Structure formats: C-alpha cells, structure tokens
Chain A
Amino acid sequence: MLKKVFRFTIPFVASLALIVLWNGPHFGLIRGATAQQQSARPPADSGGTRQTTRLDRAPSRVIKDPYAGFSAVAVDVAHNEIILQDENRAQIAVYGRTDNTPPQATLTEPKRTIGGSNTKIQHNCGVYVDPNTGDIYSINGDITQYLTVWSREKKGNVAADRMLETPHRTYGIAVDEGANEMFITTQHPAAVLVWPKTAKGTDAPLRILEGDHTGLAESQGVAVDVKNQLLYVSNKGAWAALKNNVGWARLYNPGNTTWNISQETRILDFVPGTGEYRAPSITVYPLKAKGDISPLRVIQGSQSRLNWPSQMSIDVEHQELYVTGPVTNEILVFRATDSGNVAPIRVLKGSKTGLSTPNDVFIDTKNDEMLVANFGNHSSTVYRRTASGDTAPIRTIRSAPADAPAPMFGNIGAITYDTKRNQFLTFN
C-alpha cells in the first residue's frame, strides 16, 4: 500500500511543481532570462479598436497678462517719440516723448503699434532707433531668428522693411552711426556680432568677438563709445567652452558676403562638463575688437552691485555707463573708465522710483533724461539724467492700471505643480 501511494505521489508532486514553475513569475529566470529581460517584451500593437472618449470643455481659469509689458526702450529724439518693446504682446509701441499717464488714468494708449504675425516679432527684448531717420531696429530674442527693421511711418501687422537672419538668443543692440556698423549680442554662446547697419537676409557679420579669452559669459546688453572707440558688454555669467573655441565664426563662407546661417547651423557644440557660473561683469574692448581677445577692462565684484545685469546705455559726453539691475530694481551708473571691483557712482533705487524689474535704460542726452523700461509693472519711467537714490520719476507711461499685477511670463518653457503649497510653477 505504501509503495502504491509513493508511486502515485511522486509523479503528482513533480507535475504540480512544473505547473507552478510554468505559471510562476520567475519561470523565465530558470530559463536564464532576467526579470528585466522579461519585462522587455513589447506589448502588442494596441491600436485599431479603441474608441477615444472625447470631451469639449473650456478652462476653469486662465492666467494671462492682458497689458503691455515693456522690455526695452529707446527715444527717437528727432521726432520726439518713445519706442517701447512690448514683450507681453509681441509688439512695438510708440508713444509721445512727453506722454505722462495721469495717476487716475487707466493707461496711456500708444500713438501706434507694430505687431502681428506678419511682423515676425517674438520675444522682442532689444531696440535701437536711428537718430536721423527714426527707423526702428528690433531684436527678437527667441523663436523668430531675425533682426527686423521698420521705417518710422510703419504700423500695424506689416512685414518689416528689412530682415536680417541672426543667431538664436540675440539680446542687445547698439550702432556706431559714423562707421555704419551694428553690434548685436548673443547670450549663449556669448558673442558680439558686428554687421553693416544696412545688412539684410543672410549677410555675414563683418567681425565676431567670441571665445575663451573674451570674458563674455551669457552676454546681454551692449553699448558703444564712438568718441573713445570702446565697446561695452554686460554679462550675466553662465558659460561653457566651445569645441575648438569657435562659435558663430564657423559659419563664415570664405570669400562670400553671406554666411551659412540657417536653422541647422544655429546649433553649436560645447565641451561637456565645462560649464561655469562666473560673477556678473561689464567687459570693455576696443570698438573694432574681433576674435578671441581679452577685454581691456572688467567691472566685476561685490562692490559693483551687478546682479543679472541686463541692457545698458552710455552717455559719451559725460562718460557714464548706465546698467539695469532687474533683480534688485536698480539703475547702476559707473564711470565709463571704471575697472575692477568698483562701486557705482550713482544708484537709482527705492520705492518712490517706480522701478520694477527694469530691463532697459536709455540716456536721452538732448533732453538730459534717463528712460527705463520696467518689465515688472507695465511702465516706462523717466527721470532727470543724474537722478539717484529714491527719486520719483518726472513722467511715467503706464500701459495698465497702476495696481495691475504682472505675471512676467517671458516665454513659459515648463510648468510643474507643487502639491505641498498648492501652487503651480512656471519657468521662463
């Protein structure tokens, strides 16, 4: 009997074990496959039979700034007009030079605007106005890779009179009217590119300042001192080494007046792992500087108060350099000859100034005034040129009610949700 039970039990147990192993999660391991390899089996094509659940639904809430947000400013001295870049609505707004929004008024309407899909204006962060003709030169810092130029009578959704293809991430612009040369910065790779002022299409730059020795790092604003033949550049500080220390210059077409600028060639190679965060600076070069040359002078250090320095303006007559401080809501004024870890000679700062994320400053030497584009409060504020401390503006152009909040969406690159604080976070 015992023998009979034994004879029956052994095959039964063995069969049971096989069934368990076959259906068990680790059977594949017995056959030599890892758990990872098991999960690597692709799912079958799941298309074909699915019915999509379709819903029509409007959003519960929308956060959007309906008003103009000013990122750059220039004065057309000849025609008594203020030209403001409105990055919020991708347009250029032109106001009368002496416009002043009364405290009780909602806003001041611009005399004219240029904006719309035909204009190619996007993330317009820099502006230059020809002092003779009133032509407007607009920097597009993102998405559309053009410098766009309009004659002063243009308005509405019109194509630019002239467009110049530029690298990605252009930011600042200045012009040497005597030499008919136009200086444009790129943030990364940091460079100053110089074109004829009349350049268009794929015209090549006359010269490029870039490279390890230049001290350029996340370059922003640019100013030129024609009298002393000097070039000033503000730098926020992030930097990485270019492969073979060549950036935009590799796009030159030897013997040709055009260069190989295109969507594909705007991509540059950096050396992995060389990234640095340098202290912010103002670097100074000979006006005709090109290639990888060291600056003549550098303003840098804790005394300088530089913190994400943005656009600049130079007063050649008084030899003063004006620098915006958007983080600290300051306008810093340096001697044009300053060098090293120096304090500004004047600082405009305080609750009365109306400064809020000031991104650009313009010195109107004819009218002895300083104009500021405030990205943080829908305003452009005007001061006496030598204003300092907590000084109220003499005029203010507002594009919104005085208490209108500004979300300051530059270009939302990403969103995430903070579940602990019940907040959503955006990154410009």
Chain B
Amino acid sequence: MTYPQIAAFARLANGGMAPARTIAGQATKLVRDSHDVYYDETNDEIVVASAFGQGILTYRGGANGEEAPVRVIEGPHTQIQMPGYGIYVDAVHNETYLMEGRDRPGQEYILVFPRNAKGDVAPLRVIKGPDTMLKNARSMAVDPVRNLIAVASGNGMLIFNRTDNGNVKPRAVIKGPGNNNFRLLASKGYIITGAGGGGDGDDSGGRGRGARGEAAGEGRGNAGGRGGAGPRATIRVWSITDNGAVPPLFELRNPNGGDGGGRIALNPKENEVIVGAGQSVAIYSFPEIFN
C-alpha cells in the first residue's frame, strides 16, 4: 500500500477529485494500517492510532500538509501494542478509546485514556478478559446519552456500560452487525454499518466480519483484482438498545450494485451517510435515520 495519508475532500466532491488538503510526511508520524480515524467536533481535532509506532496521534482539525500532531500518547505505561482497528473520542466525558490486540482474535482489549493525555500515561480503564467476548473486535463508539459503549466484534455488536472496567460481560449482544467500522448516531441511538459494493478487498482478513457475507473482499487469500461491481452496497441500522438476533431497523441498498464498503462516516447536517473501501467513496442521502 503506497501512501498512508489523511486526505480531506469537499462534501460535494464527485468523480475523480483531488483532495482539498492532505496530512502526510515524516513530521506527521502517520503510518499505514490505521483502520479508523475520528474527527472530534467538540474540540476540532483529528485522532488516529499509529499501528507501528504504538501511539495515539491527535492533530488540529484543520491540519494540512506535513504537520506534526499536537499530542501523542505513547510509552510503556500506555499498554499500546498494535492498535489501529478502532479509535473514538467521547467529548462529553473527555475520554479517548482505543481498540488493542489487533489481529489477535480473542486477545483484544479496550484502553480508555483522558482525552487531553499525552506522553507515557496509563489508561484510566481497560476492558479486557474472556468475559468481555472481544474477538475480532474492531471499531467502537460511546453513547453519552445512554451511557453505553458499542463495540463491533466477531461475536456481534457488544454493548457495555460506559464506565465498565476489567473483565466484564457485555450487557447486550446484537447479532447481525458485522465487525467492521460503524458509526453511532447518538441523538437517536442508532448503530450504522456499511457493507458490500466496489469489489475491493479489505485487509481485515474476513475473520468473522461482514454482515451476512456481504462485506467486500472477504478472506485474505481469496481477494484480488478490482473493477467488478461486487456485492450490493448496503447500509444497515440497529438501535444501541437492541439485544439478540434482531433484524435491522433500516436497510438501504444500492439497486445498481456497487459503491459501498465497510468504512463509514455520518454527516447529520446534510442527512448523509458516507461509505467506502479500497479505492472509492460513495455518499448516500439517508434522511430517514436523521429526522
């Protein structure tokens, strides 16, 4: 994979567009293999994990070019080993969440740091242990309204209490959402996932991920080549208060097939869901879930 940059595109970008700005270069400390990036609207900051440098990198929201992070969490007390599959900022409670144990199914754990922390700091809390059901876990989100944490995993969407710590059982498990990236619409308590489309691979390796086999490029050894439409792009929505094998509240499908993916972002102001993977990004209007 050639160039690990953060690229910002105008909301109305369409077709083959150049980014409006990029963050790249030696001073940024960025490395490849970060499968989550989070924009913290409250503090106007961009947060990303460094898989190789074992750190959490925070940039100005308007960072541009070869710009150094404003804060870095790193060091022996952090317990950071090989992150990159999930990062989240709970701006209400001023905490940063990091998924650890990448590529070690069953050995994942969630580290919670003070949002403003920098340097070699110990986590405030660690959700870790066999009771947590963390396996093939990826992204996560905090619902500050309902005081819950949602975690995408191979065992389903795991719901924890916000201040859970140690070897705790999830309070609920929603069977159905894949263990890919997802976003939480906190105002509604909606968990929103993307899948399918594009035919592009995904280096998560297909270990338990993908809602009903529709995630793109399942299986490391089986993917290869692009250009086909791939499975239908699908966006599904559950409630964070769901439990068990429950069908989604909403399911949006692209009747034309592709243009989807397991990476996802929300633009509540314009009622849009942004999905992507591989080499494409698609923007869907989805007012039904925002209004």
Contacts and interface: CB of A to CB of B under 8 A. Distances in A.
Interface of A: 36, 39-48, 50-67, 71, 87-91, 115-123, 125, 141-145, 157, 168-169, 187-188, 218, 236-240, 263, 266-267, 269-277, 279-280, 306-308, 310, 326-328, 357, 359, 375, 400, 404-428
A60 B272 contact: yes
15 contacts: A58-B259, A62-B283, A64-B279, A65-B16, A66-B16, A273-B79, A327-B26, A406-B18, A410-B3, A412-B261, A417-B274, A419-B269, A422-B269, A424-B11, A427-B37
B115 interface: no
B227 A144 contact: no
Nearest to A328: B25
Interface SS, B side: loop
The 7 closest A-B pairs by CB, nearest first: A275-B54, A273-B76, A405-B18, A45-B244, A47-B246, A238-B52, A64-B280
A401 B172 CA distance: 53
B7 A408 contact: yes
Nearest to A44: B243
A338 to B, nearest CB: 19
Contacts of A88: 279
A63 to B, nearest CB: 5
B8 A424 contact: yes
A58 B255 contact: yes
B41 A420 contact: yes
B187 interface: no
A40 to B, nearest CB: 5
Contacts of A145: 220-221
B172 A43 contact: yes
Interface residues of B, number: 123
Contact of B54 (A54, A64, A273, A415): A273
A50 B281 contact: no
A422 B283 CA distance: 13
B92 interface: no
Contacts of A263: 205, 220-221
Given A47-B247, A272-B81, 4 more contacts: A36-B163, A123-B2, A236-B31, A270-B82
B14 A414 contact: no
B16 A169 contact: no
A52 B254 contact: no
